[in-house]
Structure 1
Amino acid sequence: MYKIGAVGDKDSILAFKSIGIEVHPVTDEKEARTTVDRLAEENYGLIFVTEHVAQNIEDTIERYKKKLIPAIILIPSNQGTLGMGMDDINKNVEKAVGSNIFANSDK
């Protein structure tokens, strides 16, 4: 059975603990890379990573996008969103459907 984890600054991911998701607070880029790699090796099927952490470890995140497991989902931090997670969703929907069904029709 796969586990679920969350990686990011402590304030952004602590709430995940209340619903049974293991939280892994990180404070710098090196610790973030090491944590994501360790979770991927330890049978985690889903890893939530805050966008503010992900922007500093894009090469690590990209490496796991090519693999089925673990799925890495970018989430906003308590500082707000950078739009990275929604961009990923839009790209995947466009790839699957053939067009971006979420595109803003006002443009």
Structure 2
Amino acid sequence: MDMYRIAVIGDADSVLGFQALGLEVCPVNSADEARQAIHRMARENYAILYLTEQLAAQLKNDIARYQDAVTPAIILIPGKEGSLGIGMANVKSAVERAVGADIL
């Protein structure tokens, strides 16, 4: 049975620390590299992809493609520059869709 995998995609400074937690890290240097990594990992049975908000801001269409898919779940995390607020906005949106109202 194949195990699902978890990866963190972003600039090296933002993602390398996650290796200590046992997560697979995928340091990238550009949005295009991140796009390729997301699509490859989606094909390779990754269940969760953590992606820095800075890259997510440039990859909205690519992320939207997986929004309603079971896997991979793409979860936005702040990069080394700090939070852009995109991750929390996405959580609020998902909660509103599920509950029917903004409870956050």
With the length of structure 1 as denominator, give the TM-score of the two structures. 0.91
Match of 1:80 among 76, 79, 82: 82
Superposed structure 1 runs of 4+ greater than 6 Å apart: none
Gaps of 5+ in 2: none
Structure 2 residue 64 is matched with structure 1 residue 37: no
Structure 2 residue 6 is matched with structure 1 residue 4: yes
Please give the alpha-carbon distance, in whole angstroms, between the structure 2 residues aligned to 1:51 and 1:67: 20
- Matching residue's letter, 1:13: V
Please give the alpha-carbon distance, in whole angstroms, between the structure 2 residues aligned to 1:57 and 1:97: 27
Instruction: Name 1:66's counterpart in structure 2.
Output: 68
Q: CA RMSD in A?
A: 0.8
Q: Mark the structure with the bigger radius of gyration.
A: 1
Instruction: Name 2:92's counterpart in structure 1.
Output: 90
Instruction: Name 1:57's counterpart in structure 2.
Output: 59
Please give the alpha-carbon distance, in whole angstroms, between the structure 1 residues aligned to 2:101 and 2:32: 37
- Matching residue's letter, 1:87: A
- Matching residue's letter, 1:25: P
